[in-house]
C-alpha cells in the first residue's frame, strides 16, 4: 500500500511539474483583456528579418519605440495603425479579436499560390490600462520577390 501511495504522489508531482495540474492547484485561468481593454496606444520593440530574391540579400535588424494604435471598429474587429519611432506611417490593418488573440490577414485574390500575403497574430494579456502584446508578422510578395518576418512585443501606454 505504501508503494502505491508513493507512485500516486510521484505521478501527481510529475503532472504539476509538466503543467498538467488540476485548476485547484494551478490557479484559476486568466481572463484575456476584452476588445475594449486592448484599445489604445502601445510602444513596441522587435526584431525583423527578410530576404530580397533579386539581390540576393538577407537582412536583419531591431527596432525600439515604434507606436501601434488600436481602435475598435466593430464588436469583434479592430483597426491597427503602425508608426515607426520617427512618426512615419508604416501601415494599417483590420483584424478579428477574440479570447486574447488578434488575427490579421491580407492577401491577393484568386491566385494560387497567393502572390502577396501579409499575416499577423498578436496575443494580449494583462488588465485594463496595463495590457501587453506579443506578436508575429509574415509578409511575402512573389512579384517583387521579397519576404519579411518579425517578432515584436509592446506595452499599452494610453
Give tens-digit pLDDT for 36-95. 999 999 999 999 999 988 887 889 999 999 999 999 999 999 999 999 998 899 899 999
The class level of CATH for 35-156 reads mainly beta
> Is pLDDT above 60 for 18?
no
Instruction: Identify the band that residue 32 occupies on the pLDDT scale cut at 50, 70 and 90.
Output: very high
Q: Taking the complete model, does pTM exceed 0.85, yes or no?
A: no
Which residues does 70 contact at the CB level (< 8 Å), separation at least 6?
38, 39, 40, 42, 78, 79, 80
Q: How many residues does the chain have?
A: 158
Give tens-digit pLDDT for 117-150. 999 999 999 999 999 999 999 998 888 888 999 9
Output the nine-digit C-alpha cell for 115.
502572390
> Is pLDDT above 70 for 4?
no
Q: Where are the domains of the chain?
A: 1-30, 35-156
Write out the E strands in the chain: 40-52, 57-72, 77-83, 89-98, 101-107, 116-125, 132-141, 146-156
Distance of CA 116 to the CA centre of its chain: 20
Instruction: Identify the band that residue 27 occupies on the pLDDT scale cut at 50, 70 and 90.
Output: low
Amino acid at each position: 500500500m505504501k508503494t502505491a501511495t508513493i507512485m500516486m504522489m510521484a505521478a501527481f508531482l510529475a503532472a504539476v511539474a509538466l503543467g498538467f495540474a488540476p485548476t485547484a492547484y494551478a490557479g484559476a485561468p486568466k481572463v484575456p483583456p476584452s476588445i475594449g481593454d486592448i484599445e489604445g496606444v502601445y510602444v513596441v520593440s522587435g526584431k525583423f528579418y527578410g530576404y530580397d530574391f533579386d539581390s540576393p540579400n538577407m537582412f536583419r535588424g531591431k527596432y525600439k519605440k515604434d507606436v501601434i494604435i488600436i481602435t475598435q471598429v466593430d464588436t469583434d474587429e479592430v483597426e491597427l495603425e503602425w508608426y515607426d519611432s520617427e512618426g512615419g506611417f508604416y501601415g494599417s490593418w483590420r483584424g478579428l479579436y477574440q479570447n486574447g488573440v488578434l488575427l490579421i490577414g491580407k492577401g491577393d485574390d484568386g491566385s494560387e499560390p497567393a502572390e502577396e500575403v501579409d499575416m499577423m497574430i498578436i496575443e494580449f494579456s494583462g488588465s485594463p490600462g496595463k495590457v501587453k502584446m506579443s506578436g508575429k508578422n509574415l509578409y511575402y510578395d512573389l512579384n517583387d520577390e521579397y519576404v519579411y518576418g518579425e517578432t515584436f512585443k509592446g506595452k499599452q501606454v494610453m
